[in-house]
Structures are given as C-alpha cells and as structure tokens.
Structure 1
C-alpha cells in the first residue's frame, strides 16, 4: 500500500514525463491534419509569400499514416489450448465499441508513436468490463527498472471544465486527484498566491473510497508501441516524413509563385519614355501631363509607343515542368522511405496485372505485419486484463500465451482468394480455418458452420454421401461386425485379367 505522499510523487514524475512527450505528439498530430508551417524558404521569400501560402499544404503525411491503419482489423482472441476464438472476449470487444475505437487507437499509435488501452470493471455490470483506447498525450505507463513489460504504475491526466484530473493506477490500488486548471497568463504575483492551489489533492467521490482497491492485482493499462526500440522511445511513422513534407510544400509554393509571375510570355518596351496624357483642371484646361496607367494597356491590349529608338523585346514563359519533376521525385522518396505503394501517392494506375500490384504492396504488407506483431502483444495483455476483471483467473492464465486474430493484411481479389483457399482445402485444411483466412470473424464463422449443418440436414443426398464415405450412419442402420472377413476377389477372374493384360 502506497501512502498519499508516495502516490503524489509518482503522479509528479509521470506528469513531467507526459509533458516532455507532449511536444512531438502535438507536432505530429498537426502534420497529420495538414497544419504545416512553410519551411526551408529564404527570409525574402518568407517575407513576401509566407502569409500567402500559410494555409496551404500538399498533405502526404495523412496518406502515409492511414495506409497501414486501414488494414489493421482485429477479428478475435484465441486462448492457449483452444481451437476456437473466445466468444465472451469478442462480446466485450463489441459492446465497448472497439471495432471502431481500435482504429482510432491504431491511428494514434502510428502518429504519436504509442497509444494505451485501459481496462476497468463496471460496478453496474460485473460481467462487462469497460475497455477504452487512450491517447498518448493523456496517458503514460511506468515500468519496473530493467523491464519493458512489467508495469509498475500508470497515469491518466485530463482536463474538464476548470479542473485538472489525474488517476494513478497501481497494482493494488487506484488513487484519484484533482486541482484547479492552471492559467498561463497570470502575473508573477498572482502565480505565487495561487501556488498552493496548483497542488494535486485527493478527489473525494460519493460512495467511492480514495484510494480504492485494485481487484485485478496488476496495473490495468497497457501500452501499444509503434516501432519500439530497445533503449529509445518508439518512433512515429510521421517523424520521418515531416522534412520531406516541408520540402514538397515549399516547391509547390515556388511553383505557384512562378506560375503567377512568369508562366506567360512577357513583353517589354525599351528606348522609349513612359507614355503620358494631358492633365485637365475642372474647367477643362490643360494644366500638365500625367503618366498613363499601365494596367489600362493590359486591358485594352493596345499601346502607343513613340520615339526613334523605341523597340520591343520579349521574355519567354518560365518552364514549370522542372517543379513538377522535383515533386515527383520527392513523393517517390517519401514512398520508398515509408514503404507506402506509389500508386497510393501518385494516383496513376497503369494496365498492370494483379501480381504486379501485389508486388508493389509488399512493403506495406510487411509494415502492417510488424504492427500486428507489436500491437498484438499488447492486445493479448488487454484480453488477459478483461478476464481478470471478470474474475476468470483460469482464462487469464491461458491468454498469457494466447494470440490475437487479425484480418489478412494483404489485399487480394475475390478470385485470387477463392483459388488459394480451394488449393488449401485440397491439402486438407479444415473449413473453419479457411473461413477465418477468408476474413470472417469467429462469430461469423460459427454462424456459417451452423448454416452448413442445416443445409446438410435438409439435403438427403448429402446424408447418403456422408454415410457411404465413412460419415455417421443414419439412425437404425446396421453395421457389419468388425471381425467379419472381407470378401476376397475371384482367383479365376484375376487369372483371366492377367491373361488379357
């Protein structure tokens, strides 16, 4: 049991680490939304054109982040020693709306380098735990020294109204704290006065002790890392894209500027004075001259040029193709670095065979398989926490070495998939395994199996075929005794057959 001082010390340490991580998380989320500052520009270019292109971005980071997430779909959980997916776990998954929320969690992990899953019991329904995906900007897990899996504590911190809230999860207990929301624009004098109010204080709730016991006996929050490292923090998929994204935005800005200023042939008059027109007063008398508005020449398409040395020259239009070629190279580099298929980015489809398209997506498929490996390890622990929250210790122990079932990350046509499954069926793979491979969830597979059984019961031909091929005999059918000798072939018939051969 931790004291209040020890709990507050843990909250302070975890909050400081959470604040340290917040900067990159906010930056990567902004890039995903398309909020990109104009960079790599000269001071002069930024001075004259920075505001013009402030809200423009050719957002490729969103495509890079979305491409693996759209292929990550959990279909079930399989405990160790079982051959069928656990239906109770899948019911908890669906009741908590995790079919949709898991996609939000995976996207958060791809952009922010990690996300978290919190499991806690529902006092109103002990058989249905509450499972939520948590954002990395609000949650953090602390591990035991020297371990990357044994969790020591977890913190969730968020704001609501004019209050800051924090919940500290330990193995044996849960602490809840709150404090007034800190204002950033206060004077130093007022900051000193409010220093005492900034401290975390235990949050008292009716009908709930603080701290309250943790019946699961483990920290109920799990981290899902993206591209984990042995000693460093996990890596966001967007972290390596931002520099190239800034370069692409700059080239587009320069292309637009060149298109506006030099995309048409320019003509210039040399050796002549600027044309003037008489300047009249209110009585219509000429009182002087004034230069002609040059914009009028652009509208009227006519200019009166005088002077014996006057001549006209022209500048050719700027070649903008070099900008588009640079953009294509930049997008190609981005695709290669992130293992995103180029047809996802460039948008050009050639007359390619299915095999060629599958080969083009090999990098993305491997990238998705890596994520299912690391996310699956965390989700397997989530399944164990669900079993612990339900009080099923036996299932929780079996899930420690269980596995998470995922939909196929490779995109195939129905014809290709059917042909592959048919060949696997001929090799002896069972129907239920093939149905899972096809992409059905375990619940859907169970329904299909029941449908097949009903169809076979209604089809008398299939019943006869099953009994003739060694299936279960019809009720009342007599079987030959096991010790009855088999009928031997006629020796004469065999000799005649040999003579014929």
Structure 2
C-alpha cells in the first residue's frame, strides 16, 4: 500500500519511538551512567548514603579501541593514482574529519548513525553533509532494493510550554519540513519543500555489523554489557567489603536496640552500628556487656573474579590482554604485541570495508547534488583509510622502501603506506617537482653534476710536520 507523506512521517516516528529506549540504554553504557545490576534493592537502599556504584567502563574501552583505528584519508576516482582534491575539499568544508569520527563512535555504540546530504544555498559548489545520531533519526529500507525508502529526523526547540517539535521527512524525490501544532503535524511554512527529484533518499546509514535480516546493525556492546554488569557488581561489592575490612565485624553481647543511638538520641541504622569506630556503654562486663571482633576479610576473591571477567571480555571482543590490564612481570616483545592485536586489527579492517562503501555512496550523493546529475566516474569511487594496524615506524618504513625499490608499488603508494596524509603527500610532490626543475635547469646550463655527481677530491695534502721519505733523503744528501 502506497503511503502518503503524512503517513510516512507518522509511521517512521512510531518506529523510532519504539526503538529509542534501547538506544538510550546503549548510550548510558558507553557513558558509564547505567544503573547497578544484580544488587538486592533492600541492600541498595541500606547502603545508599555510604556506597556508590563502581563503574568499570569496559564498553567504552571496547568501542574506543576500534574507533581509534578508523580514519578516512581521502577518496580516489577510478583510473586516478592520487586522491580527488575536490571531494576532499568538500569533506573538509563540512568538518567531516570530526563528524565522521563521531558517526563511527555512535554506530559502534548505538548500532548505527546517519549521514544526510543536502544543497547549500550559500555555496552551490559545496553541498552540505551532516552526520546524525540514531537518537534523532530513523530510516526504513525497501525490502526489494534494500535502499532507504524514507527517513525522518526530529528535534525540539524551546522548553516546557514553549517547546516546539520539528521533523524533516526525506523521500526519494522530495524533502519536507514539518512542525507539530495542536498535537498534529503540519508542513512548516518557514521552510518550503525541496523537490530535488534525485530518485533516491539523500540519507545513508553507517550501520555496525549489519546482517541480511538486521539491516540497521547490531551494537558492538551486545556481548560486553552482561560482563560489564557483572564486573560493576563485583567491584561495588568489593568496596562494600572494604568497609567491613577497614572496620572488622564485631558482635556485642548484653546490648539492646535502645543502646545504639546518636548524640541526639536518634536510633542508628544497622549499617551505622556496624561501621561505628567506638562504642561506649554504662554497663559493665559483670552485667553481661561484651564485644568480640572477628578477623578481617580477604578481598582476593574479588580480584580474581574481576580478572576472569576481563579475560572473557578480551576473548569475546578480540581485545589484546594488556588493554584490559592483563600483563605479566616480563614485558611482551614487539612481535607478541602485534600478534595479540591481530583480531582487533581485522575487526577494524572489516569496519573500513563496510563503512568505506557508505562514505562512497555519500560522496556520490554529494556530486549529484552539486552537478544535478549522477557521475559515472563516481561508480568506482574508493575510500582511502589509514592503516588500522600498529607497526613500528622502522618496520613500516623498511617494508615500504623495499617495495618501492623493487618497483612493486609507486612512490605515492609508498608514502600512503607510511601513513602520510593526502595534504602531506601533495606537498612532497610539489617539492619533488621543484627539485626536478632545478636539475633540468642545471643540465640546460651545461652542469652535468646532477647526472654523474661531483668530481672526486684528490689525495689529501700532507701535514706540515710530515716530511715525505724522498724529501728527507734529499735533505740528508
């Protein structure tokens, strides 16, 4: 059934509202503000004023370890050895160095992020590109083509009674702005609809680990959250036990509830009685009053449990053990460290392959918005990523130079392999061109030094205090 524009808007908003609680839960786990799990409510109420939750933020560590290896360096058109300068200019003009990093971060955490392309009235040669959070946007895929059929973005202005809800509906041939008035959505009169007639929705999805059945992706935290909850619970229990360890358990004989009061005569809670450093009573030992102290508790069982949970996190996520504090007395060798990072590097390279396709589609939309027609050259667009591995500088340089000397790769690719940015490579090529022109000028002037090198120097002059044997013989004669 074909939906009207208003039906599309209401349908997408309903789907987004249904999913937002789960997205907000994932966001809290990344920020380390999730509620404490596994602790009994009665104990939590009893300890509320004394003990706070101890958060071991493994979710943020897992996400950041992958995101730190995802840096876009440029875009290369088919048949071109170097990156396209115009596409990189548009990328830089939209601050996508920063926005792409934020989009990757949100996608790893909350399953996906969105990229929106639109026209720029201030500069028609530089289309607008923005990266949006899944908390603000939702898109639905066409089950036949698997392309985006429609998308919505929502935001609010003002607070309380002055709050105004806005929405933007993205369809294949038109973009419409809406505002909510008297509980109903109407087109915003301040923003006329954009009849772009592209035949495609100007929105792309940065989906994390999408599957055939789950096009919107899966959070990177799905496997980590249960272990994180357990780790936070054990760490919080350890802090509670530390209170008992600092003030060991005592048993009081011959006392009643009326004996445990503060200086104002108010009755103390059970935990306040436990942590009291000193007790005083008018009763004597002959009257049956006595206090017995138990030995302190050992906290090593908590340490071992947290260590075991950290090992499980490392095995599920491909994290090197030293990322989670699992190390031995002897430091690992460089080869051992690189070997331990192999799974993490491969996971990052998988993200680069999937999200490289997304950024390529974004740049095709950019060219379509700028030129008014689809570019055939952009069909084979390639995203250039920074190397996701962490080789040493010496090893990377040695391997790159040997490949270049063996004429396996050209000089520009060698510089890319060494991690230089496109701007740095461009400056190097300018210097190479300037040096080549200077050589040609010297050859034109008859100076063959650049071809054959400088004339070798003659034998060194003897020092003044050194007399050659022949001269010495002549003097003697």
Tell whether the 8 Å contact from 1:168 to 1:174 is kept in structure 2 after alignment.
yes
- The equivalent residue for 2:229 is 246
Give the whole-Å Cα distance in 1 for the aligned partners of 2:450 and 2:27.
59
Q: What is the aligned length?
A: 427
Give the whole-Å Cα distance in 1 for the aligned partners of 2:56 and 2:380.
45
Which of 295, 308, 311 in structure 2 is aligned with 1:329? 308
Give the whole-Å Cα distance in 2 for the aligned partners of 1:308 and 1:40.
44
Change (3 A) 1:352 1:92: same
Change (3 A) 1:267 1:9: closer
Give the whole-Å Cα distance in 2 for the aligned partners of 1:407 and 1:462.
39
Q: Does 1:200 align with 2:180?
A: no
- The equivalent residue for 1:132 is 130
Q: Aligned with 1:125: secondary structure?
A: coil
- The equivalent residue for 1:377 is 357
Q: Does 1:179 align with 2:180?
A: yes
TM-score, normalising length: structure 2: 0.81
Change (3 A) 1:298 1:49: closer
- The equivalent residue for 2:469 is none
Q: Aligned with 1:39: secondary structure?
A: coil
Tell whether the 8 Å contact from 2:72 to 2:386 is kept in structure 1 after alignment.
yes
Q: Aligned with 2:118: secondary structure?
A: strand
Change (3 A) 1:44 1:124: closer
Change (3 A) 1:249 1:298: closer
- The equivalent residue for 1:425 is 404
Deviates more, 1:357-366 or 1:451-460: 451-460
- The equivalent residue for 1:157 is 154
- The equivalent residue for 1:184 is none
- The equivalent residue for 2:7 is 9
Per-residue CA deviation, residues 299-322 of structure 1 (Å, 9 max, x unaligned), is 699x99744999986522111011
Give the whole-Å Cα distance in 2 for the aligned partners of 1:111 and 1:83.
35
Q: CA RMSD in A?
A: 3.3
Give the whole-Å Cα distance in 2 for the aligned partners of 1:98 and 1:219.
20
Which of 390, 409, 434 in structure 1 is aligned with 2:414? 434
Change (3 A) 1:91 1:441: same
Tell whether the 8 Å contact from 1:78 to 1:399 is kept in structure 2 after alignment.
no
Tell whether the 8 Å contact from 1:68 to 1:368 is kept in structure 2 after alignment.
yes
- The equivalent residue for 1:408 is 387
Tell whether the 8 Å contact from 1:456 to 1:462 is kept in structure 2 after alignment.
no
- The equivalent residue for 1:168 is 169
Give the whole-Å Cα distance in 1 for the aligned partners of 2:7 and 2:194.
18
Change (3 A) 1:61 1:462: farther
Change (3 A) 1:408 1:462: farther
- The equivalent residue for 1:387 is 367
- The equivalent residue for 1:346 is 325
Give the whole-Å Cα distance in 2 for the aligned partners of 1:299 and 1:435.
71
Tell whether the 8 Å contact from 1:79 to 1:398 is kept in structure 2 after alignment.
yes
Change (3 A) 1:372 1:44: same
- The equivalent residue for 1:290 is none
Change (3 A) 1:462 1:357: farther
Change (3 A) 1:425 1:227: same
Give the whole-Å Cα distance in 2 for the aligned partners of 1:452 and 1:387.
31
Deviates more, 1:343-352 or 1:88-97: 343-352
Tell whether the 8 Å contact from 1:263 to 1:320 is kept in structure 2 after alignment.
no
Deviation at 1:48, TM superposition (A): 2.1
Tell whether the 8 Å contact from 2:55 to 2:232 is kept in structure 1 after alignment.
yes
Gaps of 5+ in 1: 181-196, 275-293, 470-501
Deviation at 1:85, TM superposition (A): 1.1
Map residues 6-405 of structure 1 onto 2, 5 A cutoff: 6-49=4-47, 52-54=50-52, 56-148=54-146, 150-161=147-158, 162-180=163-181, 197-205=182-190, 209=192, 211-232=193-214, 233-263=216-246, 306-307=285-286, 314-346=293-325, 348=327, 350-391=330-371, 393=373, 396-405=375-384
Per-residue CA deviation, residues 148-191 of structure 1 (Å, 9 max, x unaligned), is 2x2222221211221111111222222211104xxxxxxxxxxx
Give the whole-Å Cα distance in 1 for the aligned partners of 2:172 and 2:129.
18
Tell whether the 8 Å contact from 2:251 to 2:293 is kept in structure 1 after alignment.
yes
Deviation at 1:46, TM superposition (A): 2.9
Give the whole-Å Cα distance in 2 for the aligned partners of 1:267 and 1:215.
79
Tell whether the 8 Å contact from 2:110 to 2:219 is kept in structure 1 after alignment.
yes
Tell whether the 8 Å contact from 2:54 to 2:235 is kept in structure 1 after alignment.
no
Change (3 A) 1:219 1:467: farther
Deviation at 1:264, TM superposition (A): 5.6
Q: Aligned with 2:153: secondary structure?
A: strand
Gaps of 5+ in 2: 257-272, 454-477
